[in-house]
Structure 1
Amino acid sequence: MNGPLGHTTVLLDEAVEALLGGPLGARGCFIDGTFGRGGHARRVLERLDAQGRLLAFDRDPEAVAEAAAITDARFSIRHEAFSALSGLPAGSASGVLLDLGVSSPQIDAAARGFSFRLDGPLDMRMDPSRGPSASEWLQDAGQAQIAEVIREYGEERFAGPIAKAIVAWRTKHGPITRTGELADIVAGAVKTREPGQNPATRTFQAVRIFINGELQELRQALEASLSVLAPGGRLVVISFHSLEDRIVKQFIAQHARAAYDRRAPFAPPAPTLLRAVARVKPGAAEVAANPRARSAVMRVAERTQEVPAT
Protein backbone atom coordinates (compact mmCIF):
# COMPACT_ATOMS: atom_id res chain seq x y z
CA MET A 1 0.00 0.00 0.00
CA ASN A 2 1.46 3.33 -1.08
CA GLY A 3 0.60 6.17 1.25
CA PRO A 4 1.47 9.84 1.35
CA LEU A 5 4.93 10.77 0.08
CA GLY A 6 5.19 7.35 -1.57
CA HIS A 7 5.40 5.49 1.71
CA THR A 8 4.95 1.73 1.37
CA THR A 9 3.73 -0.05 4.49
CA VAL A 10 5.76 -3.18 5.23
CA LEU A 11 3.93 -6.46 5.96
CA LEU A 12 0.61 -4.64 5.75
CA ASP A 13 -1.75 -7.58 5.29
CA GLU A 14 0.26 -9.92 7.50
CA ALA A 15 0.41 -7.46 10.40
CA VAL A 16 -3.28 -6.59 10.35
CA GLU A 17 -4.27 -10.24 10.04
CA ALA A 18 -2.03 -11.13 13.00
CA LEU A 19 -3.40 -8.24 15.07
CA LEU A 20 -7.06 -9.04 14.45
CA GLY A 21 -6.72 -12.79 14.05
CA GLY A 22 -6.65 -13.71 17.72
CA PRO A 23 -9.46 -15.00 19.95
CA LEU A 24 -10.84 -11.46 20.42
CA GLY A 25 -11.20 -10.89 16.68
CA ALA A 26 -11.92 -7.31 15.54
CA ARG A 27 -13.73 -6.30 18.70
CA GLY A 28 -12.58 -3.84 21.34
CA CYS A 29 -9.79 -1.25 21.39
CA PHE A 30 -6.62 -1.69 19.35
CA ILE A 31 -3.40 0.28 19.67
CA ASP A 32 -1.20 1.40 16.76
CA GLY A 33 1.92 2.52 18.58
CA THR A 34 3.56 3.98 15.46
CA PHE A 35 1.02 5.66 13.16
CA GLY A 36 3.65 6.81 10.64
CA ARG A 37 1.66 7.59 7.52
CA GLY A 38 -1.28 5.43 8.57
CA GLY A 39 -0.96 2.37 6.36
CA HIS A 40 -1.64 -0.15 9.12
CA ALA A 41 -4.15 2.13 10.86
CA ARG A 42 -6.34 2.58 7.80
CA ARG A 43 -6.40 -1.15 7.11
CA VAL A 44 -7.30 -1.91 10.74
CA LEU A 45 -10.19 0.58 10.56
CA GLU A 46 -11.49 -1.23 7.48
CA ARG A 47 -11.71 -4.44 9.51
CA LEU A 48 -12.89 -3.20 12.91
CA ASP A 49 -16.49 -3.80 13.93
CA ALA A 50 -18.83 -0.85 14.51
CA GLN A 51 -18.04 -0.66 18.22
CA GLY A 52 -14.30 -1.10 17.77
CA ARG A 53 -11.78 1.65 18.44
CA LEU A 54 -8.25 2.39 17.26
CA LEU A 55 -5.93 4.54 19.35
CA ALA A 56 -2.69 5.58 17.66
CA PHE A 57 0.51 7.09 19.02
CA ASP A 58 3.28 8.93 17.21
CA ARG A 59 5.85 11.44 18.39
CA ASP A 60 6.44 12.85 14.90
CA PRO A 61 4.33 16.01 14.41
CA GLU A 62 4.13 15.32 10.67
CA ALA A 63 2.56 11.91 11.36
CA VAL A 64 0.04 13.46 13.74
CA ALA A 65 -0.85 16.03 11.07
CA GLU A 66 -1.35 13.22 8.55
CA ALA A 67 -3.68 11.45 11.00
CA ALA A 68 -5.97 14.50 10.96
CA ALA A 69 -7.15 13.35 7.53
CA ILE A 70 -8.84 10.32 9.12
CA THR A 71 -12.39 11.31 10.04
CA ASP A 72 -13.52 7.92 11.33
CA ALA A 73 -15.06 8.47 14.78
CA ARG A 74 -13.53 5.20 15.98
CA PHE A 75 -10.02 6.63 15.55
CA SER A 76 -7.94 8.93 17.73
CA ILE A 77 -4.24 9.76 17.96
CA ARG A 78 -1.91 11.03 20.67
CA HIS A 79 1.26 13.03 20.05
CA GLU A 80 3.36 10.81 22.28
CA ALA A 81 5.95 8.04 22.05
CA PHE A 82 4.56 4.53 22.30
CA SER A 83 6.04 4.06 25.76
CA ALA A 84 2.98 6.10 26.84
CA LEU A 85 1.11 2.79 26.61
CA SER A 86 1.95 2.48 30.28
CA GLY A 87 -0.69 5.09 31.08
CA LEU A 88 -3.57 3.07 29.61
CA PRO A 89 -5.94 1.02 31.80
CA ALA A 90 -4.98 -2.59 32.48
CA GLY A 91 -6.63 -5.09 30.16
CA SER A 92 -8.07 -2.35 27.96
CA ALA A 93 -6.60 -3.41 24.58
CA SER A 94 -7.45 -6.26 22.24
CA GLY A 95 -4.21 -5.76 20.34
CA VAL A 96 -1.00 -3.71 20.20
CA LEU A 97 0.94 -3.09 16.98
CA LEU A 98 4.45 -1.61 16.96
CA ASP A 99 6.10 -0.90 13.59
CA LEU A 100 9.59 0.13 14.66
CA GLY A 101 12.30 2.32 13.23
CA VAL A 102 12.23 5.28 10.88
CA SER A 103 9.67 5.65 8.10
CA SER A 104 10.36 6.26 4.42
CA PRO A 105 9.03 9.86 4.52
CA GLN A 106 11.39 10.63 7.39
CA ILE A 107 14.37 9.15 5.54
CA ASP A 108 13.48 10.79 2.25
CA ALA A 109 13.03 14.30 3.69
CA ALA A 110 16.50 15.88 3.74
CA ALA A 111 15.37 18.47 6.30
CA ARG A 112 14.78 15.75 8.91
CA GLY A 113 18.46 14.79 8.94
CA PHE A 114 18.06 11.00 8.93
CA SER A 115 19.70 10.28 5.58
CA PHE A 116 23.38 10.06 4.76
CA ARG A 117 22.46 10.18 1.06
CA LEU A 118 20.64 13.52 1.21
CA ASP A 119 22.44 16.55 2.59
CA GLY A 120 20.44 18.42 5.19
CA PRO A 121 20.50 19.68 8.78
CA LEU A 122 21.92 17.05 11.14
CA ASP A 123 18.81 16.67 13.30
CA MET A 124 17.54 13.04 13.45
CA ARG A 125 14.86 13.69 16.09
CA MET A 126 11.55 11.89 15.65
CA ASP A 127 10.00 14.89 17.41
CA PRO A 128 11.98 17.99 16.42
CA SER A 129 10.43 19.95 19.30
CA ARG A 130 11.96 17.81 22.03
CA GLY A 131 15.50 17.05 23.13
CA PRO A 132 18.89 17.79 21.57
CA SER A 133 19.52 17.24 17.88
CA ALA A 134 22.22 14.90 16.62
CA SER A 135 24.38 17.93 15.82
CA GLU A 136 24.06 19.29 19.36
CA TRP A 137 24.85 15.94 20.94
CA LEU A 138 27.91 15.33 18.74
CA GLN A 139 29.22 18.77 19.64
CA ASP A 140 29.04 18.16 23.39
CA ALA A 141 29.72 14.41 23.78
CA GLY A 142 33.14 13.08 24.64
CA GLN A 143 35.05 10.81 22.28
CA ALA A 144 34.56 7.75 24.50
CA GLN A 145 30.79 8.25 24.64
CA ILE A 146 30.51 8.74 20.89
CA ALA A 147 32.49 5.56 20.30
CA GLU A 148 30.34 3.62 22.77
CA VAL A 149 27.10 4.75 21.12
CA ILE A 150 28.32 3.90 17.61
CA ARG A 151 29.64 0.52 18.76
CA GLU A 152 26.56 -0.44 20.81
CA TYR A 153 23.75 0.85 18.62
CA GLY A 154 25.42 0.56 15.22
CA GLU A 155 27.46 -2.60 15.84
CA GLU A 156 30.23 -0.74 14.05
CA ARG A 157 33.73 -2.25 14.41
CA PHE A 158 35.35 1.07 13.43
CA ALA A 159 33.55 2.97 16.21
CA GLY A 160 36.82 4.13 17.78
CA PRO A 161 38.35 5.65 14.65
CA ILE A 162 35.00 7.23 13.69
CA ALA A 163 34.63 8.90 17.11
CA LYS A 164 38.21 10.13 16.93
CA ALA A 165 37.59 11.61 13.48
CA ILE A 166 34.41 13.33 14.66
CA VAL A 167 36.17 14.99 17.58
CA ALA A 168 39.13 16.02 15.39
CA TRP A 169 36.77 17.56 12.81
CA ARG A 170 34.73 19.54 15.33
CA THR A 171 37.91 20.76 17.05
CA LYS A 172 39.16 22.16 13.77
CA HIS A 173 35.91 23.28 12.11
CA GLY A 174 33.30 23.65 14.86
CA PRO A 175 29.93 21.90 15.12
CA ILE A 176 28.97 19.26 12.56
CA THR A 177 25.71 20.71 11.31
CA ARG A 178 25.04 18.81 8.06
CA THR A 179 24.36 15.15 7.31
CA GLY A 180 26.79 15.37 4.39
CA GLU A 181 29.57 16.47 6.72
CA LEU A 182 29.01 13.54 9.08
CA ALA A 183 28.81 11.06 6.18
CA ASP A 184 32.10 12.33 4.78
CA ILE A 185 33.83 12.16 8.18
CA VAL A 186 32.70 8.56 8.65
CA ALA A 187 33.71 7.57 5.12
CA GLY A 188 37.20 8.89 5.78
CA ALA A 189 37.52 6.88 9.00
CA VAL A 190 36.15 3.54 7.77
CA LYS A 191 38.97 1.66 6.07
CA THR A 192 37.01 -1.30 4.67
CA ARG A 193 33.44 -1.19 3.41
CA GLU A 194 30.74 -3.83 3.36
CA PRO A 195 29.63 -4.62 -0.20
CA GLY A 196 26.57 -2.63 -1.19
CA GLN A 197 26.46 -0.62 2.04
CA ASN A 198 27.35 3.03 2.54
CA PRO A 199 30.13 3.33 5.17
CA ALA A 200 27.96 5.77 7.15
CA THR A 201 25.01 3.36 7.48
CA ARG A 202 25.84 1.98 10.90
CA THR A 203 26.90 5.33 12.38
CA PHE A 204 23.71 7.08 11.26
CA GLN A 205 21.63 4.21 12.66
CA ALA A 206 23.47 4.38 15.98
CA VAL A 207 23.17 8.14 16.43
CA ARG A 208 19.46 8.07 15.49
CA ILE A 209 18.69 5.27 17.93
CA PHE A 210 20.55 7.05 20.72
CA ILE A 211 19.07 10.51 20.08
CA ASN A 212 15.54 9.11 20.14
CA GLY A 213 16.06 6.58 22.94
CA GLU A 214 14.53 3.97 20.64
CA LEU A 215 15.60 0.81 22.45
CA GLN A 216 14.59 2.14 25.85
CA GLU A 217 11.21 3.17 24.41
CA LEU A 218 10.78 -0.32 22.97
CA ARG A 219 11.55 -2.05 26.27
CA GLN A 220 9.11 0.21 28.12
CA ALA A 221 6.36 -0.36 25.56
CA LEU A 222 6.79 -4.14 25.62
CA GLU A 223 6.53 -4.20 29.41
CA ALA A 224 3.46 -1.96 29.26
CA SER A 225 1.80 -4.27 26.74
CA LEU A 226 1.66 -7.03 29.35
CA SER A 227 -0.64 -4.90 31.46
CA VAL A 228 -2.59 -3.22 28.65
CA LEU A 229 -3.47 -6.37 26.70
CA ALA A 230 -6.59 -8.27 27.68
CA PRO A 231 -6.29 -12.08 27.81
CA GLY A 232 -6.34 -13.26 24.20
CA GLY A 233 -5.06 -9.91 22.94
CA ARG A 234 -2.31 -9.86 20.34
CA LEU A 235 1.12 -8.19 20.42
CA VAL A 236 2.53 -7.61 16.92
CA VAL A 237 5.99 -6.07 16.49
CA ILE A 238 7.79 -5.35 13.22
CA SER A 239 11.50 -4.65 13.58
CA PHE A 240 14.13 -3.73 11.01
CA HIS A 241 17.48 -4.53 12.59
CA SER A 242 18.95 -7.13 14.88
CA LEU A 243 19.09 -4.95 18.02
CA GLU A 244 15.31 -4.39 17.96
CA ASP A 245 14.47 -7.95 16.98
CA ARG A 246 16.67 -9.41 19.70
CA ILE A 247 14.85 -7.37 22.36
CA VAL A 248 11.44 -8.47 21.06
CA LYS A 249 12.48 -12.12 20.71
CA GLN A 250 13.91 -12.26 24.22
CA PHE A 251 10.91 -10.48 25.72
CA ILE A 252 8.44 -12.93 24.21
CA ALA A 253 10.58 -15.92 25.16
CA GLN A 254 10.96 -14.68 28.73
CA HIS A 255 7.22 -14.33 29.27
CA ALA A 256 6.29 -17.49 27.38
CA ARG A 257 8.13 -19.68 29.90
CA ALA A 258 6.74 -20.90 33.18
CA ALA A 259 8.60 -19.22 36.03
CA TYR A 260 9.70 -21.34 38.97
CA ASP A 261 10.58 -19.97 42.38
CA ARG A 262 13.89 -21.57 43.37
CA ARG A 263 13.15 -20.78 47.00
CA ALA A 264 10.03 -22.94 46.83
CA PRO A 265 10.93 -25.80 44.47
CA PHE A 266 7.66 -27.70 45.03
CA ALA A 267 5.38 -24.72 44.45
CA PRO A 268 3.56 -24.58 41.12
CA PRO A 269 5.17 -22.25 38.56
CA ALA A 270 3.89 -18.75 37.99
CA PRO A 271 1.63 -18.64 34.92
CA THR A 272 3.08 -17.66 31.57
CA LEU A 273 1.99 -14.24 30.34
CA LEU A 274 2.52 -14.67 26.59
CA ARG A 275 2.25 -17.36 23.96
CA ALA A 276 4.52 -17.05 20.93
CA VAL A 277 2.37 -17.24 17.80
CA ALA A 278 4.49 -16.51 14.74
CA ARG A 279 7.65 -15.10 13.18
CA VAL A 280 7.08 -13.67 9.70
CA LYS A 281 9.43 -12.28 7.04
CA PRO A 282 8.38 -10.41 3.89
CA GLY A 283 8.04 -12.58 0.82
CA ALA A 284 10.22 -12.27 -2.28
CA ALA A 285 7.56 -10.27 -4.13
CA GLU A 286 7.30 -7.64 -1.37
CA VAL A 287 11.09 -7.28 -1.11
CA ALA A 288 11.36 -6.89 -4.88
CA ALA A 289 8.69 -4.17 -4.84
CA ASN A 290 10.04 -2.47 -1.71
CA PRO A 291 13.74 -3.18 -0.99
CA ARG A 292 13.46 -1.46 2.41
CA ALA A 293 11.34 -4.43 3.53
CA ARG A 294 14.20 -6.91 3.18
CA SER A 295 15.38 -6.66 6.79
CA ALA A 296 11.91 -6.67 8.39
CA VAL A 297 10.94 -9.33 10.93
CA MET A 298 7.46 -9.52 12.46
CA ARG A 299 6.93 -11.35 15.73
CA VAL A 300 3.48 -12.13 17.09
CA ALA A 301 2.52 -13.14 20.62
CA GLU A 302 -0.77 -13.58 22.43
CA ARG A 303 -1.59 -12.53 26.00
CA THR A 304 -2.53 -15.64 27.93
CA GLN A 305 -5.26 -16.05 30.50
CA GLU A 306 -3.63 -15.78 33.90
CA VAL A 307 -4.40 -18.72 36.17
CA PRO A 308 -3.55 -18.16 39.83
CA ALA A 309 -1.22 -20.79 41.31
CA THR A 310 -2.88 -23.21 43.73
Structure 2
Amino acid sequence: MAGMVSKLVVVLVILAVHGACDTSGLDPNFYVNKCPTALEIVRSAVKKAVAEEARMAASLLRLHFHDCFVQGCDGSVLLDDNATFTGEKTAVPNNNSLRGFDVVDNIKTELENACPQTVSCADILAIAARDSVVLSGGAWWSVALGRRDSRSASLSGANQNLPAPNSTLQTLITKFKLQGLNQVDLVVLSGGHTIGMSRCVSFRQRLYGLNGDANPQNIDNNYLTNLKSGCPSSGGDSNLSPLDDVTPTKFDNDYLKNVQSLKGLLISDQILYTKGQSTKNIVDYYAGDELLFMKQFAESMVKMGNIKPRTGSHGEIRKNCRRMN
Protein backbone atom coordinates (compact mmCIF):
# COMPACT_ATOMS: atom_id res chain seq x y z
CA MET A 1 0.00 0.00 0.00
CA ALA A 2 2.85 2.36 0.89
CA GLY A 3 4.38 1.74 -2.53
CA MET A 4 1.12 2.64 -4.25
CA VAL A 5 0.88 5.87 -2.28
CA SER A 6 4.47 6.79 -3.19
CA LYS A 7 3.79 6.22 -6.87
CA LEU A 8 0.60 8.27 -6.65
CA VAL A 9 2.51 11.18 -5.12
CA VAL A 10 5.07 11.05 -7.94
CA VAL A 11 2.34 10.94 -10.58
CA LEU A 12 0.54 13.93 -9.03
CA VAL A 13 3.75 15.95 -9.00
CA ILE A 14 4.41 15.03 -12.62
CA LEU A 15 0.93 16.04 -13.64
CA ALA A 16 1.50 19.40 -11.99
CA VAL A 17 4.67 19.81 -14.07
CA HIS A 18 2.84 18.81 -17.26
CA GLY A 19 0.16 21.34 -16.54
CA ALA A 20 2.59 24.23 -16.22
CA CYS A 21 2.16 26.75 -19.02
CA ASP A 22 4.85 28.70 -20.86
CA THR A 23 4.63 32.30 -19.72
CA SER A 24 8.06 33.29 -21.00
CA GLY A 25 6.85 34.97 -24.19
CA LEU A 26 9.19 32.84 -26.28
CA ASP A 27 8.11 31.29 -29.58
CA PRO A 28 9.45 28.18 -31.40
CA ASN A 29 8.82 29.99 -34.71
CA PHE A 30 10.71 33.14 -33.73
CA TYR A 31 13.31 32.77 -36.52
CA VAL A 32 11.10 31.29 -39.24
CA ASN A 33 11.07 34.57 -41.17
CA LYS A 34 14.01 36.37 -39.56
CA CYS A 35 16.57 33.62 -40.14
CA PRO A 36 15.00 30.51 -41.68
CA THR A 37 18.28 28.55 -41.75
CA ALA A 38 19.11 29.20 -38.08
CA LEU A 39 18.08 25.83 -36.66
CA GLU A 40 19.81 23.90 -39.43
CA ILE A 41 23.03 25.88 -38.98
CA VAL A 42 23.09 25.06 -35.27
CA ARG A 43 22.18 21.41 -35.79
CA SER A 44 24.84 20.90 -38.45
CA ALA A 45 27.57 22.45 -36.31
CA VAL A 46 26.58 20.46 -33.23
CA LYS A 47 26.46 17.25 -35.28
CA LYS A 48 29.98 17.91 -36.56
CA ALA A 49 31.31 18.69 -33.08
CA VAL A 50 29.73 15.61 -31.50
CA ALA A 51 30.99 13.39 -34.32
CA GLU A 52 34.51 14.63 -33.59
CA GLU A 53 34.11 14.16 -29.83
CA ALA A 54 31.06 12.42 -28.35
CA ARG A 55 31.68 14.10 -24.98
CA MET A 56 30.89 17.49 -26.54
CA ALA A 57 27.16 16.69 -26.40
CA ALA A 58 27.26 16.68 -22.61
CA SER A 59 29.43 19.79 -22.57
CA LEU A 60 26.94 21.80 -24.64
CA LEU A 61 24.03 20.55 -22.55
CA ARG A 62 25.88 21.64 -19.40
CA LEU A 63 26.62 25.09 -20.85
CA HIS A 64 22.89 25.76 -21.20
CA PHE A 65 22.25 24.60 -17.62
CA HIS A 66 25.05 26.77 -16.20
CA ASP A 67 23.76 29.72 -18.19
CA CYS A 68 20.14 29.45 -17.07
CA PHE A 69 20.88 29.06 -13.36
CA VAL A 70 22.67 32.44 -13.23
CA GLN A 71 20.56 35.50 -14.16
CA GLY A 72 18.34 33.30 -16.31
CA CYS A 73 18.94 31.98 -19.83
CA ASP A 74 20.76 35.04 -21.14
CA GLY A 75 24.12 33.92 -22.55
CA SER A 76 25.98 35.47 -19.61
CA VAL A 77 28.08 32.34 -19.11
CA LEU A 78 29.75 32.94 -22.49
CA LEU A 79 31.22 36.36 -21.67
CA ASP A 80 35.00 36.56 -21.31
CA ASP A 81 36.70 38.57 -18.58
CA ASN A 82 38.54 41.72 -19.58
CA ALA A 83 40.22 44.67 -17.87
CA THR A 84 36.91 46.25 -16.89
CA PHE A 85 34.57 43.26 -16.71
CA THR A 86 34.42 40.04 -14.70
CA GLY A 87 32.22 37.27 -16.07
CA GLU A 88 31.20 33.84 -14.81
CA LYS A 89 33.86 31.64 -16.38
CA THR A 90 36.18 31.82 -13.37
CA ALA A 91 33.46 30.84 -10.87
CA VAL A 92 34.31 27.67 -8.96
CA PRO A 93 31.70 25.49 -10.76
CA ASN A 94 32.86 26.77 -14.18
CA ASN A 95 36.61 27.35 -14.02
CA ASN A 96 38.61 24.69 -15.92
CA SER A 97 35.37 22.75 -16.18
CA LEU A 98 32.97 24.25 -18.73
CA ARG A 99 33.67 23.33 -22.34
CA GLY A 100 32.18 23.96 -25.77
CA PHE A 101 32.88 27.67 -26.12
CA ASP A 102 34.69 27.16 -29.44
CA VAL A 103 31.70 25.27 -30.81
CA VAL A 104 29.43 28.17 -29.86
CA ASP A 105 31.88 30.58 -31.51
CA ASN A 106 31.74 28.58 -34.74
CA ILE A 107 27.95 28.51 -34.70
CA LYS A 108 27.78 32.25 -34.05
CA THR A 109 30.17 32.99 -36.95
CA GLU A 110 28.00 30.99 -39.35
CA LEU A 111 24.81 32.64 -38.10
CA GLU A 112 26.29 36.12 -38.41
CA ASN A 113 27.22 35.35 -42.01
CA ALA A 114 23.71 34.09 -42.77
CA CYS A 115 21.64 36.51 -40.67
CA PRO A 116 23.68 39.33 -39.11
CA GLN A 117 22.83 40.24 -35.50
CA THR A 118 19.63 38.20 -35.49
CA VAL A 119 20.14 35.01 -33.47
CA SER A 120 21.13 35.46 -29.83
CA CYS A 121 23.87 33.53 -28.08
CA ALA A 122 21.33 32.52 -25.42
CA ASP A 123 19.17 30.90 -28.11
CA ILE A 124 22.23 29.16 -29.58
CA LEU A 125 22.80 27.50 -26.19
CA ALA A 126 19.17 26.39 -25.95
CA ILE A 127 19.12 24.91 -29.46
CA ALA A 128 22.54 23.28 -29.12
CA ALA A 129 21.49 21.63 -25.85
CA ARG A 130 18.43 20.08 -27.50
CA ASP A 131 20.41 18.93 -30.54
CA SER A 132 23.10 17.43 -28.31
CA VAL A 133 20.51 15.31 -26.52
CA VAL A 134 18.89 14.19 -29.77
CA LEU A 135 22.23 13.30 -31.37
CA SER A 136 23.01 11.18 -28.29
CA GLY A 137 19.79 9.21 -28.67
CA GLY A 138 17.51 11.28 -26.44
CA ALA A 139 14.14 12.88 -27.00
CA TRP A 140 13.48 15.84 -29.29
CA TRP A 141 11.57 18.88 -28.06
CA SER A 142 10.45 22.13 -29.60
CA VAL A 143 12.76 24.91 -28.38
CA ALA A 144 10.95 28.17 -27.64
CA LEU A 145 13.08 31.03 -29.01
CA GLY A 146 13.45 34.80 -28.84
CA ARG A 147 15.88 35.18 -25.93
CA ARG A 148 18.18 38.17 -26.01
CA ASP A 149 21.69 38.35 -24.58
CA SER A 150 22.50 40.07 -21.31
CA ARG A 151 24.89 42.96 -20.93
CA SER A 152 25.98 41.68 -17.53
CA ALA A 153 27.17 38.57 -15.76
CA SER A 154 27.40 37.48 -12.14
CA LEU A 155 30.45 35.75 -10.73
CA SER A 156 28.83 35.65 -7.28
CA GLY A 157 25.62 34.27 -8.78
CA ALA A 158 27.52 31.46 -10.48
CA ASN A 159 29.28 30.59 -7.22
CA GLN A 160 26.05 30.70 -5.21
CA ASN A 161 23.39 29.34 -7.57
CA LEU A 162 25.07 26.43 -9.34
CA PRO A 163 24.87 23.15 -7.40
CA ALA A 164 28.20 21.68 -6.32
CA PRO A 165 28.95 17.97 -6.86
CA ASN A 166 29.07 17.44 -3.09
CA SER A 167 25.85 19.35 -2.33
CA THR A 168 23.41 18.04 0.26
CA LEU A 169 19.98 16.98 -0.95
CA GLN A 170 18.32 19.94 0.74
CA THR A 171 20.77 22.31 -0.95
CA LEU A 172 19.93 20.80 -4.34
CA ILE A 173 16.20 21.05 -3.70
CA THR A 174 16.54 24.66 -2.57
CA LYS A 175 18.71 25.76 -5.49
CA PHE A 176 16.31 24.22 -8.00
CA LYS A 177 13.30 25.69 -6.20
CA LEU A 178 14.84 29.16 -6.43
CA GLN A 179 14.79 28.72 -10.21
CA GLY A 180 11.15 27.61 -10.22
CA LEU A 181 12.06 23.94 -10.62
CA ASN A 182 10.65 21.19 -8.44
CA GLN A 183 11.94 17.80 -7.29
CA VAL A 184 10.83 16.05 -10.47
CA ASP A 185 12.85 18.57 -12.46
CA LEU A 186 15.80 18.05 -10.11
CA VAL A 187 15.87 14.28 -10.58
CA VAL A 188 15.12 14.29 -14.29
CA LEU A 189 17.55 17.06 -15.20
CA SER A 190 20.20 15.32 -13.09
CA GLY A 191 19.48 12.43 -15.45
CA GLY A 192 21.36 14.46 -18.05
CA HIS A 193 24.40 12.89 -16.39
CA THR A 194 23.62 9.84 -18.48
CA ILE A 195 26.18 11.32 -20.88
CA GLY A 196 29.49 13.04 -20.24
CA MET A 197 32.50 12.82 -17.97
CA SER A 198 33.53 14.26 -14.63
CA ARG A 199 36.94 15.17 -13.25
CA CYS A 200 38.43 13.31 -10.30
CA VAL A 201 38.44 16.50 -8.23
CA SER A 202 34.64 16.59 -8.49
CA PHE A 203 34.04 13.11 -7.08
CA ARG A 204 37.10 12.44 -4.90
CA GLN A 205 35.11 13.13 -1.73
CA ARG A 206 32.64 10.47 -2.83
CA LEU A 207 35.48 7.92 -2.87
CA TYR A 208 37.55 8.87 0.16
CA GLY A 209 35.20 10.87 2.36
CA LEU A 210 36.01 14.19 3.98
CA ASN A 211 38.91 12.83 6.02
CA GLY A 212 40.22 10.05 3.84
CA ASP A 213 37.66 7.56 5.15
CA ALA A 214 38.49 4.07 3.99
CA ASN A 215 34.88 3.00 3.49
CA PRO A 216 32.55 5.78 2.29
CA GLN A 217 28.86 4.99 2.61
CA ASN A 218 26.36 4.41 -0.18
CA ILE A 219 28.70 3.23 -2.94
CA ASP A 220 28.99 -0.16 -4.58
CA ASN A 221 32.30 -1.80 -3.55
CA ASN A 222 33.36 -2.89 -7.03
CA TYR A 223 32.47 0.52 -8.44
CA LEU A 224 34.48 2.14 -5.65
CA THR A 225 37.54 0.03 -6.44
CA ASN A 226 37.35 0.81 -10.15
CA LEU A 227 36.99 4.54 -9.56
CA LYS A 228 39.90 4.66 -7.13
CA SER A 229 42.17 3.18 -9.80
CA GLY A 230 41.71 6.35 -11.86
CA CYS A 231 41.19 8.86 -9.07
CA PRO A 232 43.81 8.73 -6.30
CA SER A 233 43.32 10.36 -2.93
CA SER A 234 45.65 13.15 -4.04
CA GLY A 235 46.77 14.24 -7.48
CA GLY A 236 45.14 13.38 -10.78
CA ASP A 237 42.52 16.11 -10.34
CA SER A 238 41.75 16.23 -14.07
CA ASN A 239 41.51 12.46 -14.57
CA LEU A 240 38.14 11.70 -16.13
CA SER A 241 35.50 9.08 -15.38
CA PRO A 242 32.13 8.66 -17.14
CA LEU A 243 29.11 9.88 -15.25
CA ASP A 244 27.35 6.75 -16.55
CA ASP A 245 29.82 3.90 -16.93
CA VAL A 246 27.25 1.62 -18.59
CA THR A 247 26.38 3.68 -21.69
CA PRO A 248 28.51 6.84 -21.33
CA THR A 249 27.70 8.37 -24.72
CA LYS A 250 24.07 7.24 -25.06
CA PHE A 251 21.21 9.31 -23.71
CA ASP A 252 19.04 6.83 -21.80
CA ASN A 253 17.88 6.22 -18.24
CA ASP A 254 20.88 4.11 -17.18
CA TYR A 255 22.01 6.96 -14.94
CA LEU A 256 18.92 6.40 -12.80
CA LYS A 257 19.51 2.65 -12.73
CA ASN A 258 23.11 3.29 -11.68
CA VAL A 259 21.92 5.46 -8.81
CA GLN A 260 19.58 2.66 -7.73
CA SER A 261 22.62 0.34 -7.66
CA LEU A 262 24.73 2.78 -5.60
CA LYS A 263 26.81 3.61 -8.67
CA GLY A 264 26.14 7.34 -8.91
CA LEU A 265 29.47 9.03 -9.64
CA LEU A 266 28.86 12.31 -7.80
CA ILE A 267 27.61 12.75 -4.25
CA SER A 268 24.89 14.96 -5.73
CA ASP A 269 23.85 12.03 -7.92
CA GLN A 270 23.69 9.34 -5.25
CA ILE A 271 21.91 11.37 -2.56
CA LEU A 272 18.86 11.62 -4.83
CA TYR A 273 18.31 7.95 -3.98
CA THR A 274 19.77 7.52 -0.51
CA LYS A 275 18.90 10.72 1.34
CA GLY A 276 15.27 11.51 0.51
CA GLN A 277 12.16 9.37 0.10
CA SER A 278 10.43 11.69 -2.37
CA THR A 279 13.42 11.92 -4.73
CA LYS A 280 14.01 8.18 -4.32
CA ASN A 281 10.44 7.55 -5.49
CA ILE A 282 11.01 9.77 -8.51
CA VAL A 283 14.25 7.95 -9.38
CA ASP A 284 12.43 4.60 -9.15
CA TYR A 285 9.56 5.87 -11.29
CA TYR A 286 11.74 7.01 -14.20
CA ALA A 287 14.30 4.22 -13.88
CA GLY A 288 11.40 1.87 -14.57
CA ASP A 289 10.23 3.56 -17.78
CA GLU A 290 12.72 5.08 -20.19
CA LEU A 291 10.07 6.59 -22.46
CA LEU A 292 8.51 8.47 -19.55
CA PHE A 293 11.96 9.66 -18.53
CA MET A 294 12.66 10.96 -22.04
CA LYS A 295 9.31 12.75 -22.17
CA GLN A 296 9.77 14.38 -18.78
CA PHE A 297 13.38 15.33 -19.52
CA ALA A 298 12.18 17.23 -22.58
CA GLU A 299 9.48 19.02 -20.57
CA SER A 300 11.87 19.89 -17.75
CA MET A 301 14.37 21.27 -20.28
CA VAL A 302 11.68 23.52 -21.74
CA LYS A 303 10.85 24.67 -18.23
CA MET A 304 14.50 25.37 -17.45
CA GLY A 305 14.93 27.21 -20.75
CA ASN A 306 12.15 29.59 -19.68
CA ILE A 307 14.04 30.88 -16.62
CA LYS A 308 14.04 34.69 -16.77
CA PRO A 309 14.68 35.17 -20.48
CA ARG A 310 15.39 38.67 -21.77
CA THR A 311 12.95 39.49 -24.55
CA GLY A 312 11.71 42.50 -26.50
CA SER A 313 14.02 45.46 -25.98
CA HIS A 314 15.85 43.99 -22.99
CA GLY A 315 19.46 43.03 -23.57
CA GLU A 316 20.98 42.78 -27.04
CA ILE A 317 21.91 40.38 -29.83
CA ARG A 318 25.66 39.98 -29.49
CA LYS A 319 27.81 39.90 -32.61
CA ASN A 320 30.38 37.88 -30.68
CA CYS A 321 29.20 35.63 -27.87
CA ARG A 322 32.34 36.32 -25.82
CA ARG A 323 31.82 40.06 -25.47
CA MET A 324 29.10 42.67 -25.39
CA ASN A 325 28.53 44.83 -28.45
The answer to whether the superposition gives a TM-score over 0.5 is no
For the pair shown, the structure with the greater C-alpha radius of gyration is 1
Q: Which has the higher strand share?
A: 1
TM-score normalised per structure 1: 0.28
- Structure with the bigger RCO (C-alpha within 8 Å, sep 6+) is 2
